[in-house]
Amino acid sequence: MRTSPARRSRSPQPGGRIVAGLIGADPAETVLRYAFGEAERYGAAVTVVVTGPASTADDQFVRDVARRWADKYPAVDATVTVRRSVDAVITLAAASRQADLLVVAAGTDPRSAAMVAALARLAHSAVRIVDGVPDRRCPVGPGGR
């Protein structure tokens, strides 16, 4: 896990917001695991923002995965927003204005890695870049830590 250098000291505030940013069809499990864990730890809410190109089936898959994580953390207020039509970096940077923490996966290819690097520079909140992202189609959900 990496944190953007300029924003290392900020942690989510009680009653704050964590944005779990999902770009394209990238894996969701590790981002959601980290975001929900931090939200429970700090008493924050989670907004899952799904961006970039992907199919309707991918959108439904992410909604289902987010719902499973929300079920595992019932004390965490969670919402899912899908914004595929606007640039992913712009969308997530804008979402970070309302957040204490933005969590994204490390890029899995050069394009997504460049997007994450740009996002780390443009975000208005602390950014956590989580590594070790498992295959998103893996049937292991929140119970399979």
Q: What is the distance between the alpha carbons of residues 27 and 137, in angstroms, rounded to a whole number?
A: 8
- H/E run at residue 66: helix 56-72
Helices vs. strands in the chain: H and E counts, helices first: 4, 6
Query: pLDDT (tens digit, 9 = 90+) per residue, 18-34?
Result: 999 998 866 789 999 99
Reported as a single tens digit per residue, the pLDDT across 57-96 is 888 888 999 999 999 999 999 999 999 888 999 999 999 9
Cα–Cα dist 11/100, whole Å: 7
The predicted model scores a pTM of: 0.82
The amino acid that residue 63 corresponds to is: R
Which is nearest to 28 in space by CA: 11, 3, 46? 46
Which of the residue ranges 52-61, 71-80, 100-109, 118-127 would you say has the lowest mean pLDDT? 52-61
